[in-house]
Amino acid sequence: MYIEIFNERERTTTKVEFTGTKVRDLLSQLKLNPEAFLVVRNSEVITEEEILQENDRIELLSVISGG
Amino acid sequence: MQCGKCQHQAVISLQHGNLCKNHFIDYFEEKVFKTINKYQLIGRDEKLCVAVSGGKDSLTVLYLTKKYLEKNNIPIGNLIALAIDEGIEDYREHTLVDLNKFCTEHRVPLTIVSFEQELGKTLDQAYPIINKDAQKKPCNVCGVWRRYLLNKHAKKLGADKVITGHNLDDEAQAIIMNIFKANTTLAARLGPISGVQEHDLFIQRVKPLYFCAEKEVRLYALLKNFQIQFTECPYSKEGYRHHIQEMLNDFEHKYKGTKQGIVNSFLAMLPLLQNQEKKAPQTIQQCSRCQEASNKDVCNACAMKETIQNA
- Tell me what pLDDT residue B285 has: 87
Which string of DSSP letters, residue by residue, matches B225-248? T--------TTGGGSHHHHHHHHH
A59 touching B (Cβ < 8 Å)? no
- Tell me what pLDDT residue B200 has: 82
Q: Is residue B101 part of a domain?
A: yes
Q: Is residue B221 part of a domain?
A: yes
- Tell me what pLDDT residue B247 has: 96
Q: In this complex, which of B222, B245, B253 lies closest to A61 when CB atoms are compared?
A: B222
Which residue intervals of chain A are DSSP H helices?
23-29
- Tell me what pLDDT residue B56 has: 92
pLDDT tens profile B17-50: 999 999 999 999 999 999 999 999 999 999 999 9
Q: What is the Cβ-side half-sphere exposure of residue B203, based on CA atoms within 13 angstroms?
A: 25
- Tell me what pLDDT residue B307 has: 87
Q: In this complex, which of B12, B219, B236 lies closest to A66 when CB atoms are compared?
A: B236
Instruction: Report how far residue B30's alpha carbon sits from residue B24's, in angstroms, rounded to the nearest whole number.
Output: 10
Topology of the domain comprising A2-62: Ubiquitin-like (UB roll) (3.10.20)
Q: Compute φ and ψ for B46, nearest 5 degrees.
A: -85, 150
CB contact under 8 A, A38 and B223: no
CATH number at residue B250: 3.40.50.620
Q: Is residue B26 part of a domain?
A: no
A28: closest chain B residue by CA: B253
Q: Compute φ and ψ for A26, nearest 5 degrees.
A: -65, -45
B9 touching A (Cβ < 8 Å)? yes
Which amino acid type is present at position A3? I
CB contact under 8 A, A38 and B215: yes
Q: How many domains does chain B have?
A: 1
Confidence band, pLDDT 50/70/90 cuts, at residue A56: very high
Query: Within a 10 A sphere around the Cβ of B271, how many other Cβ atoms?
Result: 11
Q: Is residue B192 part of a domain?
A: yes
Chain A contact set for B253 (CB, 8 A): 33-35
Q: Is residue B9 part of a domain?
A: no
Instruction: Report how far residue A17's alpha carbon sits from residue A38's, in angstroms, rounded to the nearest whole number.
Output: 20
Residue A67 has pLDDT above 60, yes or no: no
CB contact under 8 A, B230 and A34: no
Q: Is residue B110 part of a domain?
A: yes
- B76: helix, coil or strand? helix
Enclosing domain of residue B102: 42-228+239-280
- Tell me what pLDDT residue B140 has: 81
Q: What is the Cβ-side half-sphere exposure of residue B31, based on CA atoms within 13 angstroms?
A: 18
H or E stretch covering B97 = helix B92-105
A44 touching B (Cβ < 8 Å)? yes
Q: Compute φ and ψ for B246, nearest 5 degrees.
A: -65, -40
pLDDT, tens digit only, all 311 positions of chain B:
899 999 999 999 998 899 999 999 999 999 999 999 999 999 999 999 999 998 999 999 999 999 999 999 999 989 999 999 999 888 888 888 889 999 999 999 999 999 999 888 999 888 888 877 666 678 888 989 999 999 999 999 999 999 999 999 999 999 999 999 999 989 999 999 987 667 788 899 999 999 999 999 999 999 999 988 777 788 877 678 889 999 999 999 999 999 999 999 999 999 999 998 888 777 888 999 999 988 889 999 999 899 888 87
Q: Show which of residues 7-36 on chain A sit within 8 Å of chain B, judged by CB atoms.
A: 8-9, 33-36
Q: Is residue B233 part of a domain?
A: no
Q: Are B129 and B308 contacting, i.e. CB atoms less than 8 angstroms apart?
A: yes
Q: In this complex, which of B13, B56, B222 lies closest to A49 when CB atoms are compared?
A: B13
Instruction: Report how far residue B301's alpha carbon sits from residue A59's, in angstroms, rounded to the nearest whole number.
Output: 42
A46 touching B (Cβ < 8 Å)? yes
Instruction: Report how far residue B251's alpha carbon sits from residue B244's, in angstroms, rounded to the nearest whole number.
Output: 11
Q: Which residues contact B66 (CB under 8 A, 6 or more apart)?
A: B76, B79, B106, B108
Question: What is the nearest CA distance from B190 to chain A, expressed in angstroms?
Answer: 19
Which amino acid type is present at position A29? Q
Q: Is residue B137 part of a domain?
A: yes
